[in-house]
Structure 1
Amino acid sequence: MDINQLKYFVAIVNNDFNLSNASKKLHLSQPALSKYILKFEEEEKVQLFKRKNGRLAGLTPAGENFYNNAISVLEHHAGMLKELREHSTTVKGSVRIGIPPLILTVLFTEVMSRFISLNPTIRFEIIELGAFELRKMLLLNELDFALLLTPTNLSPLIYEEVIIRQDELTAFMSAQNPLAEKEILTWNDLRGRDLVIFNETFMIHHQLMRKFDALKMDPKISLMSGSWDFLLEVTRTSEFITILPSPIRHHFFIQEIKERHFESPINWNVVLTYPIKTHYTQIERYVKKSIVEYFTEHKEIKKISTT
């Protein structure tokens, strides 16, 4: 007996064994309803109903037991369907995304706020560390996604990389700094200058040190920090110079600070990086697609689809 036949059986009992009334409520012909019951009794070699003068008059002991079990099964079936429908309209889960503080502020403020507000049942865990540290976490399988800078030096056989933003590093300094008078700087202009830069946990630090090594420069690093806004602030009333991604200029409003480009700049290319797998969860596919389309096709972040 399938679930529909169980419903037929329960409907007959609930309508005082009146096949005519039961068939009307079930939108089924009375002969068809009778046939279902007889067929089941014959196949299972059991009698569910007491009969009198060819009419149903009640339940046998086996029928009573079967009725109680049928009620339980139908209630459980209804609960299963309800739960299935709820899950079909709600995606639950979590995702761990590593984002350096500067990239989080400059590029991902709107992205993350949209992710979180549109998908309250998904837990977006943001690991806010320098790109150098996030690369280590990615190698240890502690992240689902990481935002890194090129070159990542990750194996293309193990990790996928998608460039989402291409820019360059520029110098920021006080308007009173003598170098602020130049429109374009050379790296040699920094010789002997007081520099304030990101610390070793940031990929930008290592990019700069490689550049200085290539030029055989011994940079005068006066201060290192993990806070980009602090690095900017200390240049405002001093001769310190900091080197940050050019897009940072859209996130401060200090007239005393000037930005100057380099003649041969260091590229600041941000990549979305993640392990290559045979299967990605629905949430992982959603995050990857949303981020890539937001930055490369300028599409707005939408709620995760349940279809």
Structure 2
Amino acid sequence: MKLQQLRYVLEVFRHGNHISNTAEALHTSQPGISKHIQMIESELGFEIFSRKRNRIVGLTEPGREVITIVQRVLNDIDNLKRLGEEITSRDGGSLTIATTHTQARYVLPKVIERFIQRHPAVQLHLRQGNPTQICEMVESGDADLAIGTETLRPFPSLVRLDCFELERCIITKAGHPLLKIRRPSLHDVAAYPIITHDPAFSGRWKVMNAFKQAGIQPNIIFGAVDADVSKTYVELGLGIAVMTAVTFNRRKDQGLRAIDATHLFQSSMTSISLRANSYLRNHTYDFIRLFAPQLTREAVDAAMQQVQ
């Protein structure tokens, strides 16, 4: 049994049981992956994947246990590598952060500036995606930690550390009629075309859920991939935008105005997600503490132990 075979099994599962998608992502051949999976199944004495007409359609019952074990084994291998880096290069190494546009653009800059000042020898890498995608990066080992809000699906193999809430506001063009209403209602907001986040972001769910519970059908003209795009279209006068308040800067967004919307829409919780049972280097603990001061080393370790 080889580590490469274990990786193929896990990657096929992560790619929705599609060998073709897995082969494309790993830049290898479909027959090669199929062969390695058959070899490990032969060695184990049972099938990991259930098949229909020689096509993988899901996991068998023992296959589910295999995935859990494989994830743990590969995570431990990764921990050994991290331990080696910690011993041989105490001041260096790397840290890969997967995050959303809002966090990367509006929350992280000052944190990263302070981190680089403290750890100049650490190579820092940023990867962006929606909340679900960034957790998938951590789950697969392509990132060390994810910083974002709620995801479309649960990630039982990750530890989620709550940091702080992001409250919402309504962004309008200067002079917009909505600015004349001291405390706008959902009906007031729904009277105008609305720009909100793409459906993959928690902001979209919470905005739509507020309207749904009030029995209102808003006019959503489109879902933008990030706050900067939303503000661009608001400036053009195409509509108003429901966004997190942290994305509005009174000095820089001079042609726009922000209306408090905490009474209308739920806030989103910003969290850090880590692989359970992963070995964290000292600079990783330091980055977490810089981002969320309440997350001390002891707090992080306690949260990691709860899922063991």
TM range (shorter): 0.5 to 0.7
> Are the aligned partners of 2:146 and 2:273 in contact in 1 as well (CA < 8 Å)?
yes
CA deviation string 1:132-160 (max 9, x = no partner): 321333343432211121477646x6433
Which residue of structure 1 aligns with residue 104 of structure 2?
A: 104
- Deviation, 1:239, is 5.2
Distance 2:89 2:275 in 1: 28
TM-score (norm 2): 0.58
**1:87-102 mapped onto 2 (5 Å cutoff):** 90-102=90-102
* Aligned counterpart, 1:181: 180
Aligned residues of 2:139 and 2:158 also touching (Cα < 8 A): no
Q: Deviations over 1:153-177 (max 9, x none)?
A: 646x643333322231110101322
How far off is 1:235 after superposition? 1.5
CA distance in 1, matches of 2:170, 2:281: 41
- SS of structure 1 residue aligned to 2:143: coil
**2:71 aligns to what?**
none
Distance 2:125 2:254 in 1: 36
User: Is 2:132–2:152's contact at 8 Å kept on the other side of the alignment?
Assistant: no
C-alpha separation between the residues in 1 aligned to 2:167 and 2:149?
A: 11
Residues 140/217 of structure 1: CA separation in 2 closer, same or farther (3 Å cut): farther
* Number of the residue aligned with 1:302: none
Question: 1:135, 1:251 → 2: CA distance?
Answer: 32
Q: CA offset at residue 251 of structure 1?
A: 6.4
By how many angstroms is 1:93 displaced? 1.6
Residue 280 (str. 1) matches residue 258 (str. 2): no
Change (3 A) 1:200 1:139: farther
- What one-letter code is carried by the residue in structure 1 that aligns with 2:108? F
Where does residue 267 of structure 2 map in the other structure? 267
Q: Distance in 2 between matches of 1:285 and 1:152?
A: 27
Provide the secondary structure at the position in 1 that maps to 2:249: helix
C-alpha distance after superposition, 1:58-108 (max 9, x if no partner): xxxxxxxxxxxxxxxxxxxxxxxxxxxxx7785222222112111122211
Q: Is contact 1:166-1:267 (8 Å) kept?
A: yes
In the TM superposition, what are the counterparts of 1:57-136 in structure 2 within 5 Å?
A: 90-136=90-136
Identity %: 11
Trace 1:99-248 onto structure 2 (pairs within 5 A): 99-150=99-150, 154=154, 158-238=157-237, 240-248=239-247
> Taking structure 1 as reference, are residues 138 and 251 closer, same or farther at Cα in structure 2, changes over 3 Å only?
farther
* Matched letter for residue 163 of structure 2: I
Aligned counterparts of 1:107 and 1:178: Cα–Cα separation in 2: 30
TM-score (norm 1): 0.59
Give how far 1:196 is off. 1.5
Output the CA distance in 2 between the equivalents of 1:88 and 1:141.
21
**Distance between the aligned counterparts of 2:238 and 2:178, measured in 1?**
9
Q: Is the 8 A contact 2:132 2:151 kept in 1?
A: no
Change beyond 3 A, Cα 1:203–1:186 = same
SS of the residue aligned with 2:167? Answer: strand
Deviation at 1:215?
A: 3.4
Q: CA deviation at 1:242?
A: 0.4
Aligned to 2:248: 249
Is residue 174–residue 180 contact of structure 1 (8 Å, CA) maintained in 2?
A: no
SS state at 2:292 partner: helix
Structure 2 stretches of 5 or more lacking a match?
Answer: 1-86, 297-308
CA RMSD of aligned residues (A): 2.9
Q: What SS class does the counterpart of residue 92 from structure 1 fall into?
A: coil
Q: Note the C-alpha offset of 1:118.
A: 3.5
CA contact (8 A) 2:132 2:200 kept: yes
**CA–CA distance in 1 between the matches of 2:180 and 2:239?**
15
Contact 2:166 2:269 in 1 (8 A): yes
Q: 1:214 to 1:141 in 2, by over 3 A?
A: farther
Q: Deviations over 1:156-209 (max 9, x none)?
A: x64333332223111010132221111222222232421122223433223323
Query: Is the deviation greater in 101-110 or in 89-98?
Result: 89-98
CA distances 1:4-51 after superposition (whole Å, capped 9, x unpaired): xxxxxxxxxxxxxxxxxxxxxxxxxxxxxxxxxxxxxxxxxxxxxxxx
SS in 2 for 1:138: helix
> What number of residue pairs does the alignment pair up?
209
* CA distance 1:158–1:176, shift in 2 (3 Å): same
> What amino acid is aligned across from residue 270 of structure 1 in structure 2?
T
Q: What is the one-letter code of the residue matched to 1:204?
A: G
